[in-house]
């Protein structure tokens, strides 16, 4: 005999299409794809009809790509990270852990200290 709790639990896990859970997953997917996308320029503009290379436009295009790569790396570093306190198992989470690094498990302490000092520097 199947209890009522087991059936509702299975229903919660399977989000139907068009529900809030699937839309949040879609938003997260879009965010990660947007952060990981690196814009580039075509090299065709640097070549003339005769096949000669216009060095100035070629260098300008490469400069744009290098800047785009650096910007993308910075966005990826900042956009997709999870906080150390989010890695703590739910049953171990405490409000004080966000202020006292010693309340965080040892494996995450160094990362939590770094995040806390960065947060204090920003304020």
Closest CA to 81 of 31, 20, 23: 31
Query: What pLDDT sits at residue 75?
Result: 78
**Helical residues (DSSP H) of the chain, grouped into ranges:** 4-13, 20-36, 55-79, 106-122
Which pLDDT score is estimated for 115?
Answer: 83
pLDDT band at 12 (very low <50, low <70, confident <90, very high): low
Q: Which residue has the higher pLDDT, 13 or 104?
A: 104
Model confidence at 2: pLDDT above 60: no
Task: Identify the residue whose tokens are 């859970």.
Answer: 21
Cβ atoms < 10 Å from Cβ of 65: 15
- Whether 20 has a pLDDT exceeding 80, the answer reads no
Is 103's pLDDT higher than 60? yes
Distance CA 38, CA 73 (A): 9
- Give the Cα separation of 95 and 91 in Å (integer): 12
pLDDT at position 19: 54
pLDDT digits (tens, 9 = 90+) for 28-74: 888 778 777 887 777 677 777 788 888 888 888 889 889 988 888 88
pLDDT in tens, 33-43: 877 788 777 76
Name which of 114, 116, 84, 89 is nearest 100 in CA terms: 116
Roughly how many angstroms between the first and final C-alpha of the chain, as a whole number? Answer: 57
Is residue 45 a contact partner of residue 57, using CB atoms and an 8 Å limit? yes
Q: Taking the domains of the chain in order of start, what are their residue ranges?
A: 19-81, 83-123
Instruction: Evaluate if residue 11 carries a pLDDT over 80.
Output: no
């Amino acid at each position: 005999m199947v209890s009522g709790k087991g059936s509702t639990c299975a229903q919660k896990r399977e989000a139907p299409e068009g529900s809030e859970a699937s839309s949040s997953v879609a938003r997260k997917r879009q965010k990660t794809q947007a952060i990981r996308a690196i814009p580039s320029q075509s090299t065709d503009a640097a070549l003339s009809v005769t096949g000669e290379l216009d060095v100035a436009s070629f260098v300008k295009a490469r400069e744009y790509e290098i800047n785009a790569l650096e910007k993308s790396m910075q966005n990826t570093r900042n956009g997709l990270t999870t906080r150390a306190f989010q890695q703590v198992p739910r049953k171990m989470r405490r409000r004080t852990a966000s202020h006292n690094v010693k309340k965080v498990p040892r494996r995450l302490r160094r990362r939590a200290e770094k995040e806390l000092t960065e947060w204090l520097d920003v304020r």
